[in-house]
Amino acid sequence: MVNETSTASPATALLEPGEFNQYMLRTHAEVQVVLRGLYDHVSQITVFFNEGKDMLLTTLAKVGDDHLILDYGPSSEMNRKALDAEKHFCVSTLEKVRVQFILRGFSKVEYEGRTAFRCALPDEVLRLQRREFYRLVTPIMRPLKCTMPIRLADGTVHIHEANVFDISGGGLGVTAPDKGIPFERDMELPSCRVDLPEVGFVVGTLRIRSVFDVVLRSGAHTRRAGCEFVKLPGPMATLIQRYIIKVERERKARESGLG
């Protein structure tokens, strides 16, 4: 199998805010708390713009009362494109909690002797608190596959074997099929199967929530998608949590030298 290597973490697939409206923070104080947390933890922020075609990695250099200062990215071309873009979709994590917000109107400034971006504070911040929506980046050495039956216009069924690059109790991040195969937002795909090594398998309906392009380090373009489970049965959700806990324990054991 060929593993794709992106310039961004696979966990950065955008979520649809409408699905998680109850986790949206809108008061100035709440927004400030989350942003200052990202600043204090030097959390990496992935910024998508130009309808997801371009992205850069940055961190917060300052959280002001009414503005933010963000570090320039390593690519001068991406920095230039970011300045020209009108809307910036930002994704990060804070203590394993996903954070997502939209910034607008980047301007170029000098801050503490270096070039940086300045913009207004976001109007709202999405912060997912529920454990089942913690997204696990799948292990490269033991990648997951999702078998997705897709009905074609002529009535036949195309079986798309997608690479799964992140998984949670709420859904999956997957590779999308070639553009000739119908695969659009809000499509529902029944009988999708994900095999979880040494745990079992999950079968359920997936709804496509977003489809976007990713530029790989090789310069090649690929399509990815964020999908949510539709009414996933409790036992299936339990299997996913068991798999996530298992992988996290193995990772921690390796890091501590016990694995």
- Dump pLDDT digits (tens) for 188-213: 999 999 999 999 999 999 999 888 87
Residue pair 136/240 in contact (Cβ under 8 Å)? The answer is no
Q: Other CB atoms closer than 10 Å to residue 163's CB: what's the count? A: 19
Encoding tokens for residue 102?
A: 């939209």
**Residue 145 domain boundaries:** 133-255
The pLDDT tens digits for 55-94 are: 999 999 999 999 999 999 989 999 999 999 999 999 998 8
Residue 2 lies in a domain: no
pLDDT of residue 5: 34
Task: Say if residue 101 is in the same domain as residue 149.
Answer: no
Amino acid at 119: C
The pLDDT tens digits for 114-130 are: 999 999 999 999 887 65
Residue 161 lies in a domain: yes
Of the three residues 114, 129, 144, the one that is the final residue of a domain is 129
Task: Say if residue 153 is in the same domain as residue 42.
Answer: no
**What whole-number distance in Å separates Cα of residue 247 and Cα of residue 238?**
14
- 17 has pLDDT over 90: no
Task: Say if residue 183 is in the same domain as residue 125.
Answer: no
- The burial class, CB within 10 Å (0-12 / 13-18 / 19+), for 29 is exposed
Of the three residues 101, 129, 157, the one that is the final residue of a domain is 129
Task: Say if residue 168 is in the same domain as residue 89.
Answer: no
Of the three residues 129, 149, 182, the one that is the final residue of a domain is 129
Task: Say if residue 142 is in the same domain as residue 234.
Answer: yes
Q: pTM for this one? A: 0.52
- C-alpha closest to that of 26 among 166, 121, 162: 121
Task: Say if residue 197 is in the same domain as residue 251.
Answer: yes
Encoding tokens for residue 40?
A: 């204090």
Give how many domains the chain has, as a whole number.
2
What CATH number does residue 49 fall under?
A: 2.30.110.10
**What whole-number distance in Å separates Cα of residue 259 and Cα of residue 253?**
5
Residue 56 lies in a domain: yes
The pLDDT tens digits for 221-244 are: 788 898 999 988 888 888 898 898
**What whole-number distance in Å separates Cα of residue 37 and Cα of residue 55?**
22
Residue 11 lies in a domain: no
Task: Say if residue 91 is in the same domain as residue 64.
Answer: yes
Encoding tokens for residue 73?
A: 């990215």
- C-alpha closest to that of 227 among 9, 49, 13: 13
- The burial class, CB within 10 Å (0-12 / 13-18 / 19+), for 55 is buried
